[in-house]
Amino acid sequence: MNNKGDIIKTGIQQYRSGTLSILEDSVCAEEPLEIRVPFATTEGKVEYRTLAITMRTPGNDIELARGFLYSEGVIAEAADIKGFYYCDERGEAGSRNSLALQLKVPLSLDSHLLERRFTTYSSCGLCGKTSIQSLELQNPPRLCEQTGIFNALLLHQLSAKTLKHQQLFQQTGSAHASGLFDFEGNLVKLCEDIGRHNALDKLIGYCLAEKPEQLKK
């Protein structure tokens, strides 16, 4: 089942066999998501500030924000986030597109993370980076040569399996997806978004909170 608001209807022009027609089509929705986190002031107070704004397909926003904060090195585990709420006081747009994350430990106002406080487009995972060093991988995976080896033939089948379960893509033809599979090739979780890095952040955010049993093998 699709998330509410992830698909919109719009008019398109279709040119076929020398004829131009006006049709209605389904496309992926794209709206901004403002991610706000607490910062500790020099006066000992806590105030929420905008850390980033990303263009995304609405739905699974907490997973997206959780995965984004983990990928950026802001949190190390899901428990670092105590709660969240949509910022209704910021108006109609804020009630859907401004998300505040309550962290166990507020960030420092002199944090380098404030360098990346502007829009990240759905097509780009590097927007807002201000240095080569900031491109370094956060929380790199720990690889083992003895376990976690996928069968090569099975690995090549996963793309088709992912596409088969992409409901958003099937309805719009314009959605990216990230999928989590077990070692038998069974789909555990799939996340879709108009932005490929958003789809991955949503999946990361899901895994942090749910801790699928398949990840422990």
> Catalytic residue numbers?
124
Provide DSSP, 130-193: -SSGGGSPSS-----SSS-PPPHHHHHHHHHHHHHT-HHHHHHS--EEEEEE-TTS-EEEEEEE
Of the candidates 137, 129, 128, 120, the one whose C-alpha atom is nearest the C-alpha of residue 195 is: 120
Q: Could you give the angle at which helices 196-210 and 61-71 cross, rounded to 10 degrees?
A: 90
